[in-house]
């Protein structure tokens, strides 16, 4: 063997050893966290709300059935909002009624997004046991998204939580633009922590931290989630990451390593925000499941069935879906 080849082989061997060592160190750092995560499927609401293709009630129900067959237990079925502002959610009542008469309704508790007491009443009258409320971390986004200030939105949340408590219903909270706002830019972490505290104090059983425009980086996630952990613990905190800049899985890992165990995702990576120009879809459910399976973390979801759901859904949407895992998997 020539001297050059010998040196090259030693160099490859050294690089391989270093790579294995790095992987081993990462695996060791994750060992204490092995266990299970809860995935909240938001494709039927946050996923579809910004799509140009409008699925029928029957198509939405078929998608829901496929998601349930894949093991999905925590999901948003839609939103009781004005169809004038979010026309994609006009089918929510019909979809809820169809779901309520299905066999799956006996064992599952879907959630709907409600902006106020009017939306809450629609949820209650349709027999739902959980609703989701939302506020923004910046004033401008709050005005653009729900036409009111942060303070006014908190009053609406209080009204919904109070009504929910009387009717023995649960309330989940969403906090938008926690890492960056399309109108105001950088977001003060102390403001995010303050608002999370207010949502928890009002009675939300969990608060989902939204990277609405997909601008977060792992360093930001570590910084913010560390503050949240110190102040509240992470048992009632979820991560909601969009994949606009391809950082969602890295951000999920950063939050997971700190102790976060609940993450929102959307089948196929559907989604975006109608009030945040340039924001692309949520992180794809299939990609999240594939990612966690690689860490030995249980999700309770069947990856192959999720991929099948993706392959069924894509032609219905009339455009390619962004999930990397489903793209790489044959039909």
Residue 260: active-site member: no
Rg (CA), the chain: 21
Question: What is the Cα 249 distance to its own chain's centre?
Answer: 12
**What pairs with residue 266 in β-bridges?**
284
Catalytic residue among 178, 181, 204, 273: 273
Nearest Cα residue to 113 out of 147, 63, 155, 79: 79
The residues, any chain, with a CB within 8 Å of residue 13's CB and separated by 6 or more, are none
Parallel/antiparallel/unpaired status of strands 38-41 and 262-265: parallel
The H or E element that residue 211 is part of is: strand 206-211
Q: Within 48-175, where are the H helices?
A: 57-69, 92-100, 117-125, 139-146, 150-166
DSSP 7-64: HHHHHHHHHHHHHHHHHHHHHHHHGGG-SB-EEEE-IIIIITTT-SS---HHHHHHHH
Give how far Cα 116 sits from Cα of 81, 125, 132, 153, 240, Å.
9, 14, 10, 9, 22
Number of Cβ within a 10 Å radius of residue 7: 10
- 106: exposed, middle or buried (C-beta count within 10 Å: 0-12, 13-18, 19+)? exposed
Angle formed by the axes of helices 303-317 and 285-294, nearest 10°: 160
Residues forming the active site: 273
């Amino acid at each position: 063997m020539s001297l050059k080849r010998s040196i090259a082989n030693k160099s490859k061997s050294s690089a391989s050893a270093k790579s294995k060592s790095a992987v081993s160190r990462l695996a060791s750092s994750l060992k204490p966290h092995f266990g299970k995560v809860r995935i909240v499927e938001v494709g039927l609401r946050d996923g579809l709300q910004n799509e140009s293709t409008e699925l029928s009630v029957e198509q939405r129900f078929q998608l829901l059935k496929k998601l349930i067959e894949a093991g999905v237990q925590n999901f948003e079925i839609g939103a009781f909002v004005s169809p004038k502002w979010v026309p994609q959610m006009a089918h929510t009542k019909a979809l809820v009624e169809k779901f309520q008469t299905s066999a799956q309704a006996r064992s599952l508790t879907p959630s709907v997004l409600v902006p106020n007491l009017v939306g809450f009443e629609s949820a209650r009258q349709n027999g739902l046991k959980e609703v989701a409320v939302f506020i923004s971390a910046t004033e401008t986004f709050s005005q653009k998204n729900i036409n009111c200030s942060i303070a006014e939105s908190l009053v609406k949340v209080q009204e919904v939580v109070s009504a929910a408590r009387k009717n023995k219903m649960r309330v989940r909270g969403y906090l938008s633009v926690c890492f960056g706002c399309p109108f105001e830019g950088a977001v003060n972490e102390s403001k995010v922590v303050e608002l999370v505290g207010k949502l928890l104090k009002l009675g939300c059983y969990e608060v989902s931290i939204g990277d609405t425009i997909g601008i977060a980086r792992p360093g930001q996630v570590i910084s913010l989630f560390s503050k949240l952990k110190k102040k509240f613990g992470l048992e009632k905190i979820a991560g909601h990451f969009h994949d606009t800049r391809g950082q969602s899985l890295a951000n999920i890992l950063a939050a997971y390593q700190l102790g976060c165990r609940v993450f929102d995702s959307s089948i196929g990576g559907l989604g975006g925000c109608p009030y945040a120009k340039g924001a692309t879809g949520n992180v794809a459910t299939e990609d999240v499941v594939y990612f966690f399976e690689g860490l030995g973390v249980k999700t309770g979801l069947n990856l192959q069935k999720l991929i099948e759901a993706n392959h069924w859904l894509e032609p219905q949407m009339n455009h390619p879906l962004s999930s990397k895992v489903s793209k790489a998997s044959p039909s």
